[in-house]
Chain A
Amino acid sequence: MLNNFVMPDLYPAAPEIFLLCMSFLVLFVDLIFGATHRGLAALLTVVTLLGCAAITIVTADGHTALTFSNMFVDDLLADFLKLVTYLAVIVVLVYSRQYLADRGLDRGEFYLLVLYATLGMMVMISAANFVTIYLGLELLSLSLYALVAIDRNASRATEAAMKYFVLGAMASGLLLYGMSMIYGATGSLEIGGVAQAMHHGQSDKTILVFGLVFLVAGVAFKLGLVPFHMWIPDVYHGAPTAVTLLIGSAPKLAAFAMTLRLLVYGLFGLADDWQKMLLLMAVLSIGLGNLAAIAQTNIKRMLAYSTISHMGFMILGLMSGVVGGVVDPFTAVNAYSSALYYTVAYVLMSLGAFGMVLLLSRAGYEAENLDDFRGLNQRSPWFAAVMLVIMFSMAGIPFFVGFFAKFAVLLAAIKAGYTVVAVVAVMFSLVGAFYYLRVVKLMYFDAPVDSAPITAPMDMRILLSINGVAVAAFGLFPDALMSLCTTTLLRSL
């Protein structure tokens, strides 16, 4: 047996291996110095992520490299998504440092779990095989379940974690069942192999579509699309805000990668079928997300419903790649890059929005109700302006990045002939504008109820300011990021 063993090429997986090794270091450092030097684990985590970023940049050569017997792929798309993921996780760590310290949650476990969640995302992003996808997904999900419950005395968080776990496990089951069906029909677990088997047309379409339904359900759960969205508001609301910030940002990138690799790279032959399912879910998500967000008084819940509608928009872009079963490369790249662009833009805005919630929270006080934003303009004109930019960006008002994200998606959808769907989507974003405007109204029109000074540390203030400026800057000069997304996809398809 041993003679047949071929040492896999570890080079494409270098960032993952580095992160894994470093996580052990974090574990040991926390064990030895955890009691005396509390900030050390956090610092080391950030250093790890920066190291991963450096390795990813150095090893990125623009070529697609497969390794571990074609289970793992390193292409430009993976490099790009990983870099954004590291960035998002670093931002999460900086934003949440004070919040965690105030609540005694800044223990080694937190940083370790964040690292493993990041590793899970990286594996999902680079997966070239159904099994790899599943591995990455489980690593991410299990870390997140634990993170949600990390404040073990909070009953609301424990309840949310339980709900997340039960529903998440069910979704994983659905995904796995779908994968097994497709394996049965095509005889391959490799994404490329599945695509080839389907291309040759020797697989049974009935079984394939049957498997596809389960697969799409699993994916939709992870993205939080209606009708698989139930967990999102409860988990966002129940989890400590620092964890909500993590769940609401980086994993969306991994979920995007998973969707793209499964449906576009793997099951492109069934595009006609999954397109219809995604279309329906996209419209429902945009509609329900925006309508339900209006009724919320808790900003975390409100942002949770807004996430649902944003993911609906993203999927609207993704599913516009194929027109009536005919593949036109221009349309396809347009559609996928619009979805990628939307995801990156959403992560940027989501970080800023939850960052603002963290900014206003302090020891013993959770600023998670909409009313906590009242009169922010009088307490801090600068951060009120940052939140204003983020809210208008989420509402899709120019000159902010959110507008161009919506624009790219609408363009892709109309190009694919879904003009009526586009009109429905913009009408629901009109509804959505209402609750974003309400936040601006609270900040600017109303008098403050809470006049405590904002005590966030300087690093968070600076980063949050940069975050807000970035939302505006990517809106004033949207071409760089748009072209980057397009180039990445062009060279990875």
Chain B
Amino acid sequence: MNSQLLSLAIWVPILGAVPVFLLGSERRCLVRWLALAVAVAGFLVTLPLYTGFDVQQGGMQFIEQLPWIPRFNIQYLLGVDGISMPLILLNSFITILVVLAGWEVIEKKQAQYLGAFLVMSGLMNGIFSALDGILFYVFFEASLIPMYIIIGVWGGPNRVYAAFKFFLYTLLGSLLMLVALIWLFLQSGGSFNILDWHELPIGMAPQILIFIAFLMSFAVKVPMWPVHTWLPDAHVEAPTGGSVILAAIALKLGAYGFLRFSLPIVPDASHYLAPMMITLSLIAVIYIGFVALVQTDMKKLVAYSSISHMGFVTLGFFIFNQIGIEGALVQMISHGFVSGAMFLCIGVMYDRMHSREIADYGGVANRMPKFAAFFLLFAMANSGLPATSGFVGEFMVILGAIKFNFWVGFAAATTLIVGAAYTLWMYKRVVFGDVANHHVAELTDINGRETLILTLLAACVLAMGLYPFPFTEVMHASVDNLLKHVAVSKL
């Protein structure tokens, strides 16, 4: 079946951004509603991907195939499986929230702000659905441009440094990936089709080199320790919407890349280097968890907690069992909701107080009781409380890790303590206690728009925590397929 759903998911937001740009920032009201309409339309066109998805099938679905650059056999080849489909939905959903979150707060060049997020959303759907190496790369790189602009124009005081660091760090990795992609093209006798590469036999030495090239690219995106340092800077300086998209979606690109490229294309190198990957993941989980503990800036704290949570994702991938990988995928989706919600909560406070320092707050619950309730739910989800989405993924990964090796699982499980410590300690200092100063005393509770955003996220977090089956159901066959593939040596 040749459907156009994926093309719609990519191009509706991108083309919808054009009138948003053209309207300019003078007609603020119209621009906002138009951007919201585009974002909602962008989400609605992705819904049939879920309803029409065949859960029994592990291969690619909704395939679209057109020649793009016949000169090098590059195709406009799109398709999704159970791994990428949920990410597309997540991305389109979060985009609506980001548009809502920028409703009143952004005063400078609002049309460009909203337009940039719409373009970004389309490009990321492109990344998740591209099955051609160059098409993937093109979307992957192009998504840097709107993010660079978003951080640099609407970010905090140190935004220029953060924007450059973000761009150059990410570019470093992806350029090496480009060389690897071209090498694979030549090796496979002239194909950029990722699925062809999955079948391509490759010797051990080139496998390791390709793995490293991909690692450079994806590890920076995830980000894994020790190439994570761009993330706290970018998060702290980015506007709320930028932080949400970065944490909820952009970090998933790297993790997704491991599943789509590294594991199936170079399985032997993946197995061979798995101990290194597991070690790096555990360092991220434990060490970065402790780093988060000492942060005084709320956004930085959540940024480090993101790195720590993403460490769980990469850990889940490289223990090579079903429950580990599925847990990692659930963790990816859950982290999308939870980290997005955490940044939005901080955004809510920042919009009122213009400070992210924990020390400037205290007793927020007295002035903003509704907000405090939402914030508590998300803080609990962030620390992995059962019945929230945060628990499901972490629990599954820990189970998988214990199956793999008891001590790896044990080390990973410490995060349940550290994660709870840094999140709840921050929550306690910010929300509980007496009203700390007159700024806090003047706070007003969340308005209808903010309530709507947080309610939507809270519903997702709870739904996923209480009944994760609809999420795991779609992944099952694809993960099965992937694991079978990874188990076969290519040597």
- Residues of chain A having any CB pair with chain B under 8 Å: 377, 381, 388, 392, 397-399, 403-404, 407-408, 410-411, 414-415, 419, 422-423, 426-427, 429-430, 433-434, 437, 440-441, 444-445, 478-479, 482-483, 486
Q: A392-B145, A399-B142, A479-B68 are in contact. Are A410 and B178 (CB under 8 A)?
A: yes
Please measure, in the bound complex, the distance between the C-alpha atom of A456 and the C-alpha atom of B23, giving whole angstroms: 23
Q: B69 contacts which chain A residues (CB < 8 A)?
A: 404, 478-479, 482
B432 contacts the other chain (CB 8 A): no
Q: Is the CB of B148 within 8 A of A440?
A: yes
Smallest CB–CB gap between A413 and chain B, Å?
9
Q: B142 contacts which chain A residues (CB < 8 A)?
A: 397-399
Closest B-chain residue to A400, C-beta based?
B142
Q: Is the CB of A411 within 8 A of B72?
A: yes
Q: B45 contacts which chain A residues (CB < 8 A)?
A: none
B159 contacts the other chain (CB 8 A): yes
B402 contacts the other chain (CB 8 A): no
Q: B302 contacts which chain A residues (CB < 8 A)?
A: none
Closest A-chain residue to B140, C-beta based?
A398
Q: A478 contacts which chain B residues (CB < 8 A)?
A: 69
Find the residue from B159, B163, B171, B176 having the highest chain A CB count within 10 A.
Answer: B171
Please measure, in the bound complex, the distance between the C-alpha atom of A303 and the C-alpha atom of B168, giving whole angstroms: 20
Q: Is the CB of B152 within 8 A of A381?
A: no
Please measure, in the bound complex, the distance between the C-alpha atom of A427 and the C-alpha atom of B176, giving whole angstroms: 8
Q: Is the CB of A437 within 8 A of B186?
A: no
Please measure, in the bound complex, the distance between the C-alpha atom of A381 and the C-alpha atom of B116, giving whole angstroms: 14
What are 23 A-B pairs at a CB distance below 8 A? A377-B109, A377-B112, A392-B145, A397-B171, A398-B142, A399-B142, A403-B141, A407-B134, A408-B72, A410-B182, A411-B186, A422-B182, A426-B175, A430-B168, A434-B168, A437-B148, A437-B164, A440-B149, A445-B152, A445-B160, A478-B69, A479-B67, A479-B71
Smallest CB–CB gap between A397 and chain B, Å?
5
Q: Is the CB of A419 within 8 A of B183?
A: yes
Please measure, in the bound complex, the distance between the C-alpha atom of A398 and the C-alpha atom of B153, giving whole angstroms: 21
Please measure, in the bound complex, the distance between the C-alpha atom of A75 and the C-alpha atom of B35, giving whole angstroms: 52
Please measure, in the bound complex, the distance between the C-alpha atom of A486 and the C-alpha atom of B71, giving whole angstroms: 9
Please measure, in the bound complex, the distance between the C-alpha atom of A392 and the C-alpha atom of B183, giving whole angstroms: 24
Q: B109 contacts which chain A residues (CB < 8 A)?
A: 377
Q: B178 contacts which chain A residues (CB < 8 A)?
A: 407, 410, 426
Please measure, in the bound complex, the distance between the C-alpha atom of A433 and the C-alpha atom of B172, giving whole angstroms: 10
Closest B-chain residue to A484, C-beta based?
B71
Q: A398 contacts which chain B residues (CB < 8 A)?
A: 137-138, 141-142
Q: Is the CB of A411 within 8 A of B138?
A: no
B399 contacts the other chain (CB 8 A): no
Closest A-chain residue to B24, C-beta based?
A381
Q: B159 contacts which chain A residues (CB < 8 A)?
A: 445
**9 shortest A-B CB distances, which residue pairs?**
A398-B138, A426-B175, A445-B152, A479-B69, A482-B71, A414-B182, A398-B141, A411-B182, A398-B142
Q: Known pairs A398-B142, A419-B179, A482-B71. 12 more at Cβ < 8 A?
A: A377-B109, A377-B112, A397-B141, A403-B138, A407-B182, A410-B182, A411-B72, A422-B182, A426-B175, A433-B171, A437-B164, A445-B152
B144 contacts the other chain (CB 8 A): yes
Cross-chain contact of A414 among B137, B168, B175, B186 (Cβ < 8 A): B186
Interface positions of B from 132 to 169, Cβ below 8 Å from A: 134, 137-138, 141-142, 144-145, 148-149, 152-153, 159-160, 163-164, 167-168
Please measure, in the bound complex, the distance between the C-alpha atom of A423 and the C-alpha atom of B137, giving whole angstroms: 16
Q: B68 contacts which chain A residues (CB < 8 A)?
A: 479
Q: A415 contacts which chain B residues (CB < 8 A)?
A: 186
Q: Is the CB of B70 within 8 A of A483?
A: yes
Smallest CB–CB gap between A489 and chain B, Å?
12
B185 contacts the other chain (CB 8 A): yes
Smallest CB–CB gap between B235 and chain A, Å?
18
Interface positions of B from 196 to 238, Cβ below 8 Å from A: none
Please measure, in the bound complex, the distance between the C-alpha atom of A381 and the C-alpha atom of B186, giving whole angstroms: 42
Please measure, in the bound complex, the distance between the C-alpha atom of A478 and the C-alpha atom of B182, giving whole angstroms: 17
Please measure, in the bound complex, the distance between the C-alpha atom of A410 and the C-alpha atom of B134, giving whole angstroms: 13
Q: A397-B145, A407-B134 are in contact. Are A423 and B160 (CB under 8 A)?
A: no
Q: A411 contacts which chain B residues (CB < 8 A)?
A: 72, 182, 185-186
Closest A-chain residue to B172, C-beta based?
A430
Smallest CB–CB gap between B192 and chain A, Å?
11
Smallest CB–CB gap between A168 and chain B, Å?
36
Q: A429 contacts which chain B residues (CB < 8 A)?
A: 175
Please measure, in the bound complex, the distance between the C-alpha atom of A414 and the C-alpha atom of B175, giving whole angstroms: 14
Q: Is the CB of B144 within 8 A of A397?
A: yes
Q: Is the CB of B163 within 8 A of A441?
A: yes
Q: Is the CB of A444 within 8 A of B152?
A: yes
Please measure, in the bound complex, the distance between the C-alpha atom of A429 and the C-alpha atom of B168, giving whole angstroms: 11
Binary flags per residue of B102-139, CB closer than 8 Å to A gives 1, else 0: 00000001001000000000000000000000100110
Q: B176 contacts which chain A residues (CB < 8 A)?
A: 423, 426
Q: B185 contacts which chain A residues (CB < 8 A)?
A: 411
Q: A444 contacts which chain B residues (CB < 8 A)?
A: 149, 152-153
Please measure, in the bound complex, the distance between the C-alpha atom of A411 and the C-alpha atom of B192, giving whole angstroms: 12
Smallest CB–CB gap between A373 and chain B, Å?
14
Q: A410 contacts which chain B residues (CB < 8 A)?
A: 178-179, 182
Cross-chain contact of A426 among B67, B145, B153, B179 (Cβ < 8 A): B179
Closest B-chain residue to A479, C-beta based?
B69
Closest B-chain residue to A378, C-beta based?
B109
Q: A434 contacts which chain B residues (CB < 8 A)?
A: 164, 168
Binary flags per residue of B20-42, CB closer than 8 Å to A gives 1, else 0: 01001000000000000000000
Please measure, in the bound complex, the distance between the C-alpha atom of A136 and the C-alpha atom of B168, giving whole angstroms: 43
Q: A479 contacts which chain B residues (CB < 8 A)?
A: 67-71
Q: A445 contacts which chain B residues (CB < 8 A)?
A: 152-153, 159-160, 163
Please measure, in the bound complex, the distance between the C-alpha atom of A415 and the C-alpha atom of B148, giving whole angstroms: 33
Please measure, in the bound complex, the distance between the C-alpha atom of A478 and the C-alpha atom of B76, giving whole angstroms: 13
Q: A399 contacts which chain B residues (CB < 8 A)?
A: 138, 142
Q: A437 contacts which chain B residues (CB < 8 A)?
A: 148, 164, 167-168
Q: B163 contacts which chain A residues (CB < 8 A)?
A: 441, 445
Q: B71 contacts which chain A residues (CB < 8 A)?
A: 479, 482-483, 486
Q: B24 contacts which chain A residues (CB < 8 A)?
A: 381
Closest A-chain residue to B173, C-beta based?
A430
Please measure, in the bound complex, the distance between the C-alpha atom of A482 and the C-alpha atom of B144, giving whole angstroms: 25
Please measure, in the bound complex, the distance between the C-alpha atom of A408 and the C-alpha atom of B138, giving whole angstroms: 14
Smallest CB–CB gap between B156 and chain A, Å?
12
Please measure, in the bound complex, the distance between the C-alpha atom of A434 and the C-alpha atom of B71, giving whole angstroms: 31
Closest A-chain residue to B138, C-beta based?
A398
Q: A399-B142, A445-B163 are in contact. Are A414 and B179 (CB under 8 A)?
A: yes
Q: A397 contacts which chain B residues (CB < 8 A)?
A: 141-142, 144-145, 171
Please measure, in the bound complex, the distance between the C-alpha atom of A483 and the C-alpha atom of B148, giving whole angstroms: 33
Interface positions of B from 53 to 72, Cβ below 8 Å from A: 67-72
Cross-chain contact of B175 among A377, A392, A427 (Cβ < 8 A): A427
Q: Is the CB of A433 within 8 A of B167?
A: yes
Q: B175 contacts which chain A residues (CB < 8 A)?
A: 426-427, 429-430
Interface positions of B from 39 to 95, Cβ below 8 Å from A: 67-72
Interface positions of B from 375 to 413, Cβ below 8 Å from A: none
Please measure, in the bound complex, the distance between the C-alpha atom of A437 and the C-alpha atom of B171, giving whole angstroms: 12
Please measure, in the bound complex, the distance between the C-alpha atom of A408 and the C-alpha atom of B68, giving whole angstroms: 15
Please measure, in the bound complex, the distance between the C-alpha atom of A340 and the C-alpha atom of B402, giving whole angstroms: 57
Q: Is the CB of B183 within 8 A of A381?
A: no
Cross-chain contact of B112 among A381, A426, A433 (Cβ < 8 A): A381
Smallest CB–CB gap between A467 and chain B, Å?
19
Smallest CB–CB gap between B161 and chain A, Å?
10
Q: A426 contacts which chain B residues (CB < 8 A)?
A: 175-176, 178-179
Please measure, in the bound complex, the distance between the C-alpha atom of A411 and the C-alpha atom of B178, giving whole angstroms: 10
Please measure, in the bound complex, the distance between the C-alpha atom of A397 and the C-alpha atom of B179, giving whole angstroms: 14
